[in-house]
Amino acid sequence: MTEPFYILFDLDGTLVDSAPDLTGALNHTMDSLDLPIVDEGSVRNMVGFGARRLIEQGLEAAGVDLNDDEIEAALQVFLTYYREHIVDRTRPFPGTRKMLETLRRQGAIMGICTNKPEDLSVMVLERLKLAHFFKAIIGADTVENRKPHADHIHASLAAIGGTAERAIMIGDTATDVNAARNAGIPVIAVTFGYSTVDPADLDADDLVDHMAELTEAVVQLRDDITQ
C-alpha cells in the first residue's frame, strides 16, 4: 500500500481570489472612519497577515494612527461587514477544483494553513463548495504562533495526521515560503497570488503560473520526498 502524502495550502491568493471582497470590507471600514478608500490593487499587496494587519495597513495608507481600542473597534466593523459579503465576488482561481480532485485521487491528504481566522476560512470554503477536499482547516486564531512560524505548519500537519517528512506547502507569499522553511518542508509558490515581491524571488522549490501546472509540480516534489 502506498503511503499517503500531505499537502498544506494557504487560502487567500493561493486557492481563492478574495481580494475583491476584502477590499469591500476594508473600504466599508475606512468609510465608517471618514477615511479615504484603498484601491483593490493595493489591497492585493496587503493580504496575508490577518484582518487586523490589513486594517492597520489601510490606516497607514491614509496616514492615520489609531490606538489599540480604536483599531479593535474598526476590526469589528470590518468583520461584521465581511461575514455578510464574504463570497460576493470571491472565487477559486481557475483550475482549482480540478487540481484538488486530481490530487485527492492520487492519494493526497490535504489541509488549509492560513492566517485568515478559522471560522471565516471555513465559511469561504463551504460556500465555494471546496471544504470537503480538506481534512482540516487551521486558521491563525487556532494556533499560538501563526505563519511564518513553524508552529502553524506543525499544528496543521498534526490536524491532518501528517508528518513534515512527507509534506508539501503551497502558498503565494514570503509568509508561506518562510513558514515552510521554518518547518523544514518543501514549498511551491503560485505566481498569481498576492506576493509583494516578484514570486521568482521567494526562493520556493518550484513556481507555477496556473493550477494546471500545480499537480505535476506536486507529484515531482512528492516523488522526491517519498523515495
Alpha-carbon distance of 31 to 34, in angstroms, equals 5
Among residues of the chain, what percentage have pLDDT more than 90?
A: 91
Alpha-carbon distance of 103 to 81, in angstroms, equals 34
Spot the catalytic one: 10, 17, 176, 205.
Answer: 10
CA–chain centroid gap for 24, Å, is: 18
State the average pLDDT over residues 192-212.
95
pLDDT of res. 2: 64
Residue 3: C-alpha distances to residues 109, 170, 216 (Å)? 11, 20, 19
State the average pLDDT over residues 111-133.
97
pLDDT of res. 120: 95
Confidence category of residue 1, pLDDT binned at 50, 70, 90: very low
In single-letter form, the type of residue at position 138 comes to I
Residue 42: C-alpha distances to residues 9, 20, 190 (Å)? 23, 11, 19
Give the count of alpha carbons within 13 A of 79, CB side only.
17
Alpha-carbon distance of 54 to 49, in angstroms, equals 7
- For residue 155, pLDDT over 90 is answered with yes
- For residue 149, pLDDT over 60 is answered with yes
10 classed as catalytic: yes
- For residue 153, pLDDT over 70 is answered with yes
Q: Mean pLDDT score of the chain, rounded to an integer? A: 94
Which domains can be identified in the chain, with CATH numbers? 5-17+91-226 (3.40.50.1000), 19-84 (1.10.150.240)
C-alpha cell at position 3: 503511503
